[in-house]
Chains A and B, each alone.
Chain A
Amino acid sequence: MALIELRDVTKVYDTGDVQVKALAGVSLDVESGESVAVMGASGSGKSTLMNLLGCLDRPTSGTYRLAGEDVGRLDRNRLAEIRNRTLGFVFQSFNLLARTSAVENVELPLLYSGVAPAERRRRALQALERVGLAPRAHHHPSQLSGGQQQRVAIARALVVEPRIILADEPTGNLDSRTSVDVMSLLQALGDSGITIVLVTHEPDIALYAGRVLEMKDGLLRSDVRRPAVRAAPRTAPDEVAAAGPSSLASLASAPEKP
Chain B
Amino acid sequence: MNPARVIAIAVRALLRNKLRSFLTTLGVIIGVGAVIAMTAIGAGASARVKATFEAMGSNMLVVLSGSSTAGGARGGAGSQPTLTWNDLDAIRGLPAVRLAAPQLQRSAQVMAEGQNWFTVIQGTTPELFDIRNWKIARGQFFEEDDDRAGSKVAVVGNTVVQNLFGPYDDPVGQVIRVGAIPFEIVGVLQSKGQTGFGQDQDDVVIIPSRTFRAKLQGGLQQYIAGAIVVSARSADAAGAAQGQIQDLLHQRHRIGPGVQDDFTIRNLSDIATSQQESAKTMTSLLAGIALVSLVVGGIGIMNIMLVSVTERTREIGLRMAVGAKPRSILVQFLVEAVALSIAGGIIGTAAGLGTAGWLVARFGWPMLVQPHIIVAAVGFSAAVGVIFGMWPAMQASRLDPIQALRYE
Which A residues are closer than 8 A to B by beta carbons? Answer: 51, 54, 56-57, 76-77, 80-81, 83-85, 89, 91, 95, 97, 99, 108-109, 111-114, 117, 156, 160
Query: Which residues of the other chain, A, contact B1 by a CB distance below 8 angstroms?
Result: 111-112, 114
One of B34-42, B239-247, B319-327, B361-369 contacting the partner: B319-327
Residue ID in chain A nearest B318 by CB atoms: A95
Q: Is A84 a contact partner of B323 (Cβ separation < 8 A)?
A: yes
Q: Which of A56, A81, A108, A112 contacts B401 (CB 8 A)?
A: A56
Query: Which residues of the other chain, A, contact B320 by a CB distance below 8 angstroms?
Result: 56, 80, 83
Most buried by B among A57, A76, A81, A113: A76
Can you list 8 A-B pairs, Cβ within 8 angstroms, ordered by A?
A54-B321, A76-B325, A77-B326, A89-B321, A95-B405, A109-B322, A111-B324, A156-B322
Q: Which of B9, B318, B323, B405 contacts A113 (CB 8 A)?
A: B323
Q: Is B322 a contact partner of A57 (Cβ separation < 8 A)?
A: no
Query: Which residues of the other chain, A, contact B402 by a CB distance below 8 angstroms?
Result: 51, 56-57
Q: Is B326 a contact partner of A76 (Cβ separation < 8 A)?
A: yes
Query: Contacts A56-B320, A89-B322, A160-B322 given; 9 further ones with Cβ under 8 A?
Result: A81-B323, A95-B317, A95-B405, A97-B318, A109-B322, A109-B323, A111-B9, A113-B323, A160-B323
Q: Is A56 a contact partner of B321 (Cβ separation < 8 A)?
A: yes
Query: Which residues of the other chain, A, contact B405 by a CB distance below 8 angstroms?
Result: 91, 95
B309-320 interface bits toward A, Cβ cutoff 8 Å, 1 = contact, 0 = none: 000001101111
Q: Is A112 a contact partner of B328 (Cβ separation < 8 A)?
A: yes
Contacting residues of chain B (301-352) with chain A, CB-CB under 8 angstroms: 314-315, 317-328
Q: Which of B5, B314, B323, B326 contacts A83 (CB 8 A)?
A: B323
Query: Which residues of the other chain, A, contact B327 by a CB distance below 8 angstroms?
Result: 77
Q: Is A84 a contact partner of B322 (Cβ separation < 8 A)?
A: yes
- Given A77-B327, A80-B323, residue A111 in contact with residue B16 (CB < 8 A): no
Query: Which residues of the other chain, B, contact A108 by a CB distance below 8 angstroms?
Result: 318-319, 322
Q: Is B321 a contact partner of A117 (Cβ separation < 8 A)?
A: no
- Given A51-B402, A95-B318, residue A112 in contact with residue B5 (CB < 8 A): no
Query: What CA separation (Å) do A169 and B66 show in the bound complex?
Result: 102
Query: Which residues of the other chain, B, contact A76 by a CB distance below 8 angstroms?
Result: 325-326
Residue ID in chain A nearest B408 by CB atoms: A93
Most buried by B among A84, A109, A111: A111
Residue ID in chain B nearest A96 by CB atoms: B318
Query: Which residues of the other chain, A, contact B326 by a CB distance below 8 angstroms?
Result: 76-77, 80
Which B residues are closer than 8 A to A by beta carbons? Answer: 1, 5, 9, 16, 314-315, 317-328, 401-402, 405
Query: Nearest Cβ in chain A — how far from B16, in angstroms?
Result: 5
Q: Is B321 a contact partner of A83 (Cβ separation < 8 A)?
A: yes
Query: Which residues of the other chain, B, contact A99 by a CB distance below 8 angstroms?
Result: 16
Query: What CA separation (Å) do A165 and B116 show in the bound complex?
Result: 105
Q: Is A112 a contact partner of B16 (Cβ separation < 8 A)?
A: no
Query: Nearest Cβ in chain B — how far from A115, in angstroms?
Result: 10
Query: Nearest Cβ in chain B — how far from A19, in angstroms?
Result: 18
Query: Which residues of the other chain, B, contact A51 by a CB distance below 8 angstroms?
Result: 402
Query: Which residues of the other chain, B, contact A97 by a CB distance below 8 angstroms?
Result: 315, 318
Query: What CA separation (Å) do A112 and B5 show in the bound complex?
Result: 11
Residue ID in chain B nearest A153 by CB atoms: B318
Query: What CA separation (Å) do A80 and B322 show in the bound complex?
Result: 8
Query: Which residues of the other chain, A, contact B318 by a CB distance below 8 angstroms?
Result: 95, 97, 108
Q: Which of B16, B314, B328 contacts A95 (CB 8 A)?
A: B314
Query: Which residues of the other chain, B, contact A91 by a CB distance below 8 angstroms?
Result: 405
Query: What CA separation (Å) do A57 and B405 show in the bound complex?
Result: 13
Query: Nearest Cβ in chain B — how far from A165, in angstroms?
Result: 12
Residue ID in chain B nearest A89 by CB atoms: B321
Query: Would you list the 7 A-B pairs with minimal beta carbon distance, nearest first?
Result: A84-B323, A109-B322, A112-B323, A80-B325, A95-B318, A77-B325, A112-B324
Query: What CA separation (Å) do A160 and B320 show in the bound complex?
Result: 15
Query: Which residues of the other chain, B, contact A83 by a CB distance below 8 angstroms?
Result: 320-323
Query: What CA separation (Å) do A114 and B5 show in the bound complex?
Result: 11
Query: Nearest Cβ in chain B — how far from A143, in angstroms?
Result: 16
Query: What CA separation (Å) do A109 and B321 show in the bound complex?
Result: 9
Residue ID in chain A nearest B327 by CB atoms: A77
Query: Nearest Cβ in chain A — how far from B400, in angstroms?
Result: 8
Query: Which residues of the other chain, A, contact B322 by a CB distance below 8 angstroms?
Result: 83-84, 89, 108-109, 112, 156, 160
Query: What CA separation (Å) do A90 and B1 show in the bound complex?
Result: 24
Query: Nearest Cβ in chain A — how far from B30, in angstroms?
Result: 29
Q: Is A111 a contact partner of B5 (Cβ separation < 8 A)?
A: yes
- Given A95-B405, A114-B1, residue A85 in contact with residue B323 (CB < 8 A): yes
Query: Nearest Cβ in chain A — how far from B322, in angstroms?
Result: 4
Query: What CA separation (Å) do A50 and B322 show in the bound complex?
Result: 15
Query: Nearest Cβ in chain B — how far from A207, in angstroms?
Result: 27
Query: Nearest Cβ in chain A — how far from B22, in angstroms?
Result: 17
Query: Nearest Cβ in chain A — how far from B315, in angstroms?
Result: 6
